[in-house]
Structure 1
């Protein structure tokens, strides 16, 4: 049973006239008649009964009109859904953004993307370095923005978006305000507020240990907004990516000796076929002026 047979049958059932049905379907009457005859052979009985110049549906035809009408409606809905998806109308897109990536650079891009592709249903997920891989590999995320100090596995493809420095953040009255940069040795004996989701956290404390630099950890938090407000209130200092600062009034200077940098990248699963929505997101991200 083919879709055009169903369409020919339903049109004939509506018009009860083979000539008018052929005209509506834009086919010759013999072609329409052959298609319906083949459908009757597949179903095992006649669908129409002709009496002189009148055509009627048989009992089988009545039943098939109801069932095949539903099939036709479902098929049309499926074609419409496919067209919308391929034309980026109501296309779902699940993007993970690592929790340490600030909004200063990402929100303007997302706003532009939605303006260019208003039909895409974009959902943003806050992810940590620990659950990022699982989300991508399981398909719960289509792609992700992240910034890690090490290279990813070969299972992922990356597009570099921009580079940013790690900076020390502190209140306005802190001694760091008089400095143009903060050599890492200057952190010694400072009250430190520990960002638990920081992707550099382990390597940062290892660097301090190797340099015999001791800081006093006063507070640990997964909440970036809380920690920055605590810095603003003079409760301590912290280290953070420069574009992740979101609290007005917090001061910052770049960390030096050594410089600590990270690349923010767009990540997809290598070899996985991209939907049109994912491909559109990758293309727009690759050409966007992230640091403009």
Structure 2
């Protein structure tokens, strides 16, 4: 049995090369070194040495060779799925890099604050799909704090947030449009018969609070200044939870005008103008733009936003 040195790189971590993994996977597939070498278009001694070096890196035998019978060791069986995933990820990364360099792919990673409805952005996304060659979209919706943290870590190219949030100094934003908040209530409630409501008509009503939602906190502060008493007994995190509780009779809620509603609920405008917020797009300052990011920013800042019952914000202005 061979001895293994467990060669490491200077950082102390095991260092494996992709060709070593590829050769091992070929042997694991064929259980024959000669056929594996033919499939990899390499001389058998070179393939054997590469597999031996991989075994040294991992500190144990991956394959048993008994005359004409080759089979995986216990370590080999355990490592096989991990090495398959590693190799597949490397191939996917190479393919993506080639596509981007040739202009065949334009990936864009967008993050939405959980109070921003995808419905409001569909027109923008359709425009990008039609004008950006090789457009590939990744869209995620997260709580604000998680969204910003991941954006700063490089997980998103740009994010869409409410201007009620205070962005970090490292981020720059532009206001895109103004969107109203609406009262959400059961369709059978007596107030649903009215086309619009005033705050005075809501005085004393049971409301459903939303955790970590600055837009709602701003609205609550406005109601307090107007001496309107609203009771917030129940709290939720997200639009779906809020709607389910409204449907079940726990109280009224507030949601942005573009948030889709489940069946049995209706949205009614409030007469007061203070129940609106601005929606902005934000990027990490100083970070180079991809072609898709640049196209998204340009289209977002110049397009005519068709927002349901929301007033236009006018020309885009820097919010941070």
Q: Tell me the TM-score normalised to structure 2 length.
A: 0.58
Equivalent of 2:230 in 197, 201, 215: 215
Aligned partner of 1:175 in structure 2 is 190
CA drift of 1:218 comes to 4.1
Q: Say whether residues 1:117 and 2:132 are aligned partners.
A: yes
SS of the residue 1:141 aligns to? coil
What do residues 146-191 of structure 1 show as CA deviations (whole Å, max 9, x unaligned)?
1122564553332332211111111122232243432223322212
Change (3 A) 1:103 1:245: same
The CA RMSD measured in Å over matched residues stands at 3.0
SS of the residue 1:136 aligns to? helix
Aligned partner of 2:161 in structure 1 is 146
1:30-41 map, 5 Å: none
Change (3 A) 1:220 1:213: same
**Paired residues of 1:86 and 1:276 also in contact (CA < 8 A):** no
Aligned partner of 2:180 in structure 1 is 165
What do residues 94-145 of structure 1 show as CA deviations (whole Å, max 9, x unaligned)?
2111111113222343244234336233211212222233222221221001
- Cα distance in structure 1, aligned partners of 2:128 and 2:262: 25
SS of the residue 1:244 aligns to? coil
Aligned partner of 1:104 in structure 2 is 119
Change (3 A) 1:175 1:134: same
**Paired residues of 2:110 and 2:138 also in contact (CA < 8 A):** yes
CA drift of 1:83 comes to 6.0
Q: Say whether residues 1:262 and 2:289 are aligned partners.
A: no
SS of the residue 2:200 aligns to? helix
- Cα distance in structure 2, aligned partners of 1:152 and 1:183: 32
- Cα distance in structure 1, aligned partners of 2:141 and 2:226: 34
Unaligned segments of structure 1, at least 5 residues: 1-62, 64-77
Unaligned segments of structure 2, at least 5 residues: 1-45, 47-92, 308-320
- Cα distance in structure 2, aligned partners of 1:219 and 1:118: 47
- Cα distance in structure 2, aligned partners of 1:160 and 1:125: 20
Change (3 A) 1:284 1:258: closer
- Cα distance in structure 2, aligned partners of 1:260 and 1:95: 26
Q: Say whether residues 1:286 and 2:298 are aligned partners.
A: no
1:64-75 map, 5 Å: none
Q: Which has the higher helix share?
A: 1
Q: Say whether residues 1:227 and 2:242 are aligned partners.
A: yes
What do residues 17-66 of structure 1 show as CA deviations (whole Å, max 9, x unaligned)?
xxxxxxxxxxxxxxxxxxxxxxxxxxxxxxxxxxxxxxxxxxxxxx9xxx
Change (3 A) 1:179 1:81: closer
**Paired residues of 1:147 and 1:264 also in contact (CA < 8 A):** yes
- Cα distance in structure 2, aligned partners of 1:291 and 1:86: 35
Change (3 A) 1:237 1:147: same
- Structure showing greater radius of gyration is 1
Aligned partner of 1:276 in structure 2 is 291
